[in-house]
A = this chain, B = another copy of it.
Amino acid sequence: MNVLWVLAHPEQQSLNGSLFDEGLRALNEAGDAYLVSDLYAMKWKATVDRGDFTDEPDERLIVTAASRRAHLDGTLSADIRAEQEKLDWADAVVLQFPLWWYGMPAILKGWFDRVFVKGFAYGVTDGDSGRSLRYGEGRLAGKRALVVVTAGSPEAALGLRGINGQLDHVLFPLLHGTLWYAGMSVLPPVAVYGADRVTQQQYESATARLRDRVTSIRGTEPIPFRYQNGGEYDDALVLRPELAAGSTGLEVHYAAERRHGSRRSRNEVQASSR
């Protein structure tokens, strides 16, 4: 398997730096090929601007249109094209970062803002139906994505009723709104909690989990997000009323087989077991 490992941490001598080394070692021992995008080491430019579109006329900049044009013409800046080539090569992508303000560090958000342009990661339509291919379909479909995140928060405070919000809901914009939107199969994240005060024993447990997860990317069941074009959403892209009937909240966008889904409706379970 070909793995692209994207790291967003400023300090090599850190918990993230050590986990990164361990993860790559595990891939190596398993015989997987990998490429690395160590965004800080690359001095990755975080901000989308006119410079990303090298052949864009000096007029009003419309980012989506300019990025699509530049992608089609091959005139995206070289750093963006290099990342896209790595993604095309990869069967799986690992995204590793510390949780800052309950999201990605800006340098990694900017990797998505700049690399996931229209025509590459979204904005692709099915030739026959004319439907937009997204949320489970698209040019990146078939690839797997694994988020590896460290959090200062203890686990309970990022749990189902923890004050910080449950981790997979806090990460919904990345897991669902970005990776799944682009068509990728998204695996449950690997999280290391209490990251500012990890004991040796906790560290060893975390690396064992990480090694296990990165060497079983192919065999891990993805998060069962619903497909946009699978008949579960209506033409306005609203979930059909008979699914997760009467419920709201991000959990409705997970299919019924999700294990700890407290909002799973009886009807759905019956329907899916038919």
Q: A residues engaging B (CB < 8 A)?
A: 10-11, 13-14, 40, 44, 46-50, 60-64, 100-107, 109-110, 112-113, 116, 135, 152, 154, 156-157, 159-166, 169-170, 172-174, 176-178, 181, 196, 226, 228, 233, 236-239, 244, 246-253, 262-263
Contacts and interface: CB of A to CB of B under 8 A. Distances in A.
B101 A110 contact: no
Contacts of A247: 262
Contacts of A135: 163
B112 A101 contact: yes
Given A105-B113, A109-B109, A165-B172, A159 B238 contact: yes
B239 A161 contact: yes
11 contacts: A10-B50, A10-B61, A46-B46, A101-B109, A106-B106, A156-B236, A161-B252, A163-B239, A164-B177, A169-B249, A248-B262
Say whether chain A's binding surface is mostly helix, strand, loop, or mixed.
loop
Nearest to A260: B248
Nearest to A235: B156
Contact of A248 (B10, B156, B166, B237): B166
Nearest to A104: B109
A173 B10 contact: no
Given A163-B135, A249-B166, A48 B237 contact: no
A163 B47 contact: no
